[in-house]
Structure 1
Amino acid sequence: MKNRKTLLVGLCGVSLLLAACGTASNSSSSGSAPGAQGFTPPKLSALTALGQPEGQLNVLAWPGYAENGSNDPKVNWVTPFEQETGCKVNVKPFGTSDEAVTLMKTGGYDVVSASGDASLRLVASGDVEPVNTALVPNYNDVYPFLKNKSWNSVNNVAYGIPHGWGANVLTWRTDKVNPAPTSWSAMFDPNSPYKGKIIAYDSPIYIADAALYLMAHQPDLGIKNPYALDDKQFNAAVDLLKKQRPAVEEYWADYLKETQSLKSGDGTIGTAWQVTVNLAKSGGAPLQSTVPSEGATGWSDTWMVATKSQHKTCAYKWMDYIISPKVNAQVAEYFGEAPANSKACAEFTDKSLCDTYHANDAAYAAKIQYWTTPIPQCLDGRTDVKCKDYGDWTRAWTEIKG
């Protein structure tokens, strides 16, 4: 879990329209018309039936999603899966969505836990294929508001199994920050009293956080979707982040590094995942967190099957296992997110956490601006302008950090 700096994804990551960048199968089509996301998915088919488990599974996952006891002997849901299925699991954690996309292109992984800023890139490039949800029995218990969403399906064809979701929260040390902040202004206001102590996420997708802030504070810009930015809107968000840059003590890509910064007091306020808050608090740091008045960006993660996988039966067994009520609860409670399985809350050790994470709250889930890959076709429905694609976001992020 070393700190990983954001990786440039090359031409294949510049635009979802460059679907030819991947290696696509010539099997029967899952849909040949452009989807609402603005691209035509490659012609690929889902698995039709499970076979004999192949004995191995290579998992590419966010840290905390596929724990095997090596980080904490008490936290291990990989070993029971191996014993149950005979599929030996090799886990590779990644630090950013860009890293996940790059690693998936090597062809060395069977399944990946992809956030919305990676999932459609993987679909468009042909690196992942449609999934047959009928082969995943626990899919029936996934919350309806997580199914057939723009980041995990195209043309009503599922490309993955929902895993968990949550917001990128604002967190702060209560011994350093007073009064408790209720707005992202604590991080973006040039007169913030926390200059030099701010911690921000190290990824081009963080530009969306600035755009979300501008939606509330500069409504004249007309931003409706923080991932659909025309030239004027994009430049405003980039300028805001450039102004924030001198106030940032650290950009983080490894949540463990941010946890240490908050515990030591090097950073006093920042954007964080709930797992960061949980770990820092368990280590004695006086922290609180909130979703500010402007709302928040966030993630809804999807388990996806690699097109080139040689272990697809093991892959499907993993997807069904990882979203089963007990295991989905273990992962969600450890990582700090809402589970995908509607029966998982009953399996939580701390029953209050499902309320904390708003697991059953579809209205709350609808307020989160989930990570989504920016493309030239404006995701807010505008057709009279072009929006900045992920390549533009990546180049701008390099300039922002300097």
Structure 2
Amino acid sequence: MKNRKLALAGLLGAGLLVAACGTSGSSSNAAAPGGQGFTPPKLDALAQLGRPEGQVNVLAWPGYAENGSNDPAVDWVTGFEKETGCKVNVKAFGTSDEAVSLMKTGQYDVISASGDASLRLIASGDVEPVNTGLVPNYADVFDFLKNRPWNSVNNVAYGVPHGWGANLLTWRTDKVTPPPTSWSVMFDPNSPYKGKISAYDSPIYLADAALYLQNKKPELGIKNPYALDDKQFQAAVDLLKQQRPMVGEYWSDYLKESQALKSGDAVVGTAWQVTVNLTKSEGAPVESVLPSEGATGWSDTWMVSAKSPHKTCSYKWLNHIVSPKANAQVAEYFGESPSNPKACAETKDKTHCGTYHAGDAAYASKIQYWTTPITQCLDGRTDVKCKDYGEWTRAWTEIKG
């Protein structure tokens, strides 16, 4: 785990999504589950599998397609190659923006896309709908991960759910008392932990501020932290500007945050479960909680390139990566909840699924998963325009100074 560096940094150029979206859909589409208020290019899903083409070019987050080269004990690629005859060529990416740019080259067949990239890929026509009937293991995937705003449009699936997790509130138990239960410990201007706060370094962090305001200031009318009109957006920006001098360090590499927590340079912050587990395993007294206001988080999706010449191998990869054994291996190595409940019986650590809340729909419902903001409000409003990710990026630059 220490060898991995997840650079989930903020993405740029989100205006490409807005340009690709064209006009907004009808109000009924905008409000429908899985509807984002835009009409993607008309592309057909694969109708049937053919003969495997001999290879598949995989674009993935580090740790999602391991073939034993980084660690001989970590390999769920070699067996797939032997079974299918599809050689797996892996390209790892460090940020969602890099992933989107690489997909536009047409050189990759499948991608593991986070919610802050998937809508752009759908809107630009770089990925196509997925025929889930050709992915047998899809039937076992937790229902609460299917047909979500980041992996479908108007209830048409554009991928296969892979794994998910929450951005938790973590703290040093020897420095922070009483144990916090609210994000106010990070956002309240009177927080006693000024200068010792660790916050996520990305424009998407604006959603964390919006989620806090959704509960703290209901008069703002925020319903979705990724759908902010001018007034709501300005309130979130102002909150983060107020927080700025209280933050000791912004992080995009979870290993750096772990080090800050161990050294005491940070005593409270937003973190992933893997950060908490690693930091505790190395002797630091830290705990974490999903706060009363809920939290943001991620749910990654395997998607198929519209330009892929290796569709059969691509579908075989999608089916393999959410199979019980492979899904368990990825979830443990990466540090997240698997998408297939049958994976829980395959994990080496039999407490893994409990630690990561696999199958806990009530817990998952408290998470507002990363979704790329667009001008068509994702909460279904059609009488106003919302701030797109280009605006979020410009605001984040201003916030950090």
TM-score by length of 2: 0.90
CA separation in 2, counterparts of 1:117 and 1:281? 29
Q: CA deviation at 1:197?
A: 2.3
Aligned partners of 1:16, 1:180: CA distance in 2, in Å? 46
2:26 alignment counterpart: none
- Unaligned runs of 5+ residues in structure 2 are 24-28
1:210 aligns with 209
Structure 2 vs 1, CA of residues 388 and 286 (structure 1 numbering), >3 Å: closer, same or farther? same
Aligned-partner residue type, residue 283 of structure 2: G
2:113 is matched with which residue? 114
The whole-number CA distance in structure 2 between the counterparts of 1:84 and 1:332 is 22
User: Hey, what's the Cα distance between the residues in 1 that align with 2:116 and 2:241?
Assistant: 22
Change (3 A) 1:319 1:395: same
- Matched to 2:121, the amino acid is L
Helix, strand or coil at the partner of 1:355: helix
Which deviations, in whole Å up to 9, do the C-alpha atoms of 1:22-46 show, x marking residues without a partner?
A: xxxxxxxxxxx98821111112111
Aligned residue identity for 2:289:
T
Which shifted more, 52-61 or 166-175? 52-61
Aligned sequence identity (%) = 77
More deviation in 1-10 or 185-194?
1-10
Alignment partner of 1:89: what SS?
strand
Counterparts in 2 of 1:2 and 1:371: CA distance versus 1, 3 Å? closer
CA deviation after TM superposition for structure 1 residue 241, in Å: 0.8
- Give, in whole Å, the separation in 2 of the partners of 1:371 and 1:3: 15
Q: What SS is found at the alignment partner of 2:392?
A: helix
TM-score in terms of structure 1 length? 0.90
Pairing of 1:120-269 with structure 2 (within 5 A):
120-269=119-268
Instruction: Check 1:176–1:6 CA distance in 2 against 1; reply closer, same or farther (3 A cut).
Output: same
Q: Secondary structure at the match of 1:343?
A: helix
1:207-252, Cα deviation, whole Å (9 max, x unpaired): 0000001111112211111111111110010111111122222222
What corresponds to 2:68 in structure 1? Answer: 69
Tell me, yes or no, if the aligned pair for 1:298 and 1:370 is still in contact at 8 Å: yes
State whether residues 213 and 294 of structure 1, in contact with CA within 8 Å, keep that contact through their aligned partners in structure 2. yes
Look up the SS of the partner of 1:344 in the other structure: helix
Q: Give me the whole-angstrom Cα distance separating, in 1, the residues matched to 2:282 and 2:370.
A: 29
Distance 1:16 1:219 in 2: 33
Amino acid at match of 2:154: N
Q: Which amino acid is 1:180 matched to?
A: P
| Alpha carbons of structure 1 residues 401 and 94: separation in structure 2 relative to 1, 3 Å | farther
Q: CA deviation at 1:133?
A: 1.0
Q: Secondary structure at the match of 1:289?
A: strand
> For 2:72 and 2:265, how far apart are their aligned partners in 1?
29
User: Is 1:6 aligned to residue 23 of structure 2?
Assistant: no
C-alpha distance in structure 1 between counterparts of 2:104 and 2:249, whole Å: 30
Q: For the residues of structure 1 that align with 2:247 and 2:314, how far apart are their CA atoms?
A: 41
313-322 or 259-268, which deviates more: 259-268
Deviations 1:3-58 (A, max 9, x none): 57534226313456249xxxxxxxxxxxxx98821111112111222233333322
8 Å CA contact 1:9–1:102 kept in 2: the answer is no
Q: 1:232 to 1:11 in 2, by over 3 A?
A: closer
Q: How do residues 99-110 of structure 1 correspond to structure 2 at under 5 angstroms?
A: 99-110=98-109
1:10–1:298 Cα change, 3 Å: closer
Q: Which amino acid aligns with 1:251?
A: Y
SS of the residue corresponding to residue 200 of structure 1 reads strand
Is the Cα contact below 8 Å between 2:189 and 2:243 reproduced in 1? Answer: yes
Residue equivalent to 1:60: 59
The alignment partner of 2:365 has SS state of: helix
When residues 246 and 360 of structure 1 are mapped into structure 2, their CA distance, relative to the original with a 3 A threshold, is same
Structure 1 residue 104: Cα displacement: 1.8
Give per-residue Cα distances to partners, 1:122-181, cap 9 Å, x unaligned. Answer: 101001011111211101111112112222112322110011122111122223333321
CA RMSD of aligned residues (A): 2.2
Matches within 5 A, 1:26-105: 36-105=35-104
Q: For the Cα contact (< 8 Å) 2:198–2:247, is it kept in 1? A: yes
- Offset of 1:309 from its aligned partner? 1.9
State the aligned residue count: 389
Q: In the aligned structure 2, how far is the partner of 1:326 from the partner of 1:359? A: 15
Distance 2:91 2:266 in 1: 28
CA spacing shift, 1:84–1:177, aligned 2, 3 Å: farther
CA, structure 1 residues 386+279, in 2 after alignment: closer, same or farther (shift >3 Å)? same
What's the offset of the Cα at 1:320? 0.6
TM-aligned CA deviation for residue 112 of structure 1: 1.1
Q: Which amino acid aligns with 1:307?
A: A
CA distance in 2 between partners of 1:352 and 1:383 (Å): 45
Aligned to 1:291: 290
Assess, with a 3 A threshold, how the Cα gap between structure 1 residues 352 and 256 changes in structure 2: closer, same or farther: same
